[in-house]
């Protein structure tokens, strides 16, 4: 009896819903704890990406927010995408009040790392955002080059690494459309810039970028 009680407690501890930012156990209906909710920044951080495209992100890449992304991407906390998308949706509405988007799309992964991780974190964010913003999400880009991770490179090498890495799957989907492009984190803006540049070849009417985190204030 006592062993069963311990086992039940242990199981509920392991599988309980947790706050993405501080790991505190929260109710099943909650997306994050009240303390972290109150501490979330009220205004997003705007930043340009390579090529001069507009971009925005609600969180700075450090501390609890950096850890939340690491857990989301590398420790299989895919369900965090709901809390993250809610935050991003608010920021997108604030940063682009003048924009009416036709659809959401996302930075793709090459098939090899995608197979290894099992999911594309940017696609998960785009999928949840599609619910929040009542817009379809469409896969428009394909990553045709298995590039080195961007954080291992500096300056010009980041640009060279991504050159020719993406292609538009179907130009007709993009032509004359207003596109919201999603990534998880903006560091130097090279990835979103290169994806925007590739999408631009299909002549969309607008491209705006949004991410969950940015290192904007860290440079």
Footprint on this chain of Zn ion (rule: CB under 5 A): 19, 21-22, 24, 33, 36
Is residue 185 within 8 A of residue 211, CB to CB? The reply is yes
3-state secondary structure the chain: CHHHHHHHHHHHHHCCCECCCCCCECCCCCCCCHHHHHHCCCCCEEEEECCCEEEEECEECCHHHHHHHHHHHHCCCHHHHHHHHHHHHHHHHHHCCCCCCCEEEECCCCHHHHHHHCCCHHHHHHHHHHHHHCCCECCCEEECCCCCCHHHCCHHHHHHHHCCCEEECCHHHHCCCEEEEEEEEECCCHHHHHHHHHHHCCCCCEEEEEEEEECHHHC
Nearer to Zn ion, 36 or 126 (CB): 36
Nearer to Zn ion, 90 or 206 (CB): 90
Distance in Å, CB of 86 to Zn ion, minimum: 14
Distance in Å, CB of 38 to Zn ion, minimum: 10
Distance in Å, CB of 17 to Zn ion, minimum: 11
Distance in Å, CB of 30 to Zn ion, minimum: 10
Q: Exposed, middle or buried: residue 42 (CB in 10 Å: 0-12, 13-18, 19+)?
A: exposed
Nearer to Zn ion, 82 or 171 (CB): 82
Nearer to Zn ion, 36 or 124 (CB): 36
Q: How far apart are CA 45 and CA 55, in angstroms?
A: 9
Distance in Å, CB of 35 to Zn ion, minimum: 6
Nearer to Zn ion, 21 or 72 (CB): 21
Distance in Å, CB of 18 to Zn ion, minimum: 8
Q: How far apart are CA 1 and CA 4, in angstroms?
A: 5
Distance in Å, CB of 158 to Zn ion, minimum: 33
Nearer to Zn ion, 19 or 182 (CB): 19
Nearer to Zn ion, 49 or 88 (CB): 88
């Amino acid at each position: 009896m006592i062993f069963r009680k311990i086992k039940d407690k242990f199981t509920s501890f392991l599988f309980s819903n947790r706050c993405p930012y501080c790991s505190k156990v929260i109710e099943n209906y909650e997306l994050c704890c009240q303390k972290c909710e109150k501490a979330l920044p009220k205004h997003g951080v705007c930043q340009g990406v390579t090529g001069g495209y507009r971009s925005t992100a609600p969180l700075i890449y450090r501390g609890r927010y950096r850890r939340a992304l690491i857990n989301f991407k590398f420790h299989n906390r895919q369900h965090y995408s709901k809390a993250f998308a809610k935050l991003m949706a608010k920021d997108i509405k604030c940063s682009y009040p003048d924009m009416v988007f036709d659809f959401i799309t996302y930075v793709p992964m090459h098939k090899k790392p995608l197979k290894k991780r099992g999911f594309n974190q940017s696609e998960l964010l785009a999928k949840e955002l599609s619910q929040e913003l009542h817009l379809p999400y469409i896969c428009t880009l394909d990553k045709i080059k298995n590039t080195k991770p961007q954080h291992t490179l500096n300056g010009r090498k980041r640009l060279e690494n991504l050159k020719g890495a993406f292609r538009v799957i179907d130009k007709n989907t993009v032509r004359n459309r207003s596109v919201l492009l999603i990534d998880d984190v903006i560091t130097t803006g090279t990835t979103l810039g290169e994806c925007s540049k590739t999408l631009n070849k299909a002549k969309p009417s607008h491209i705006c970028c949004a991410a969950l985190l940015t290192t904007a204030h860290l440079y």
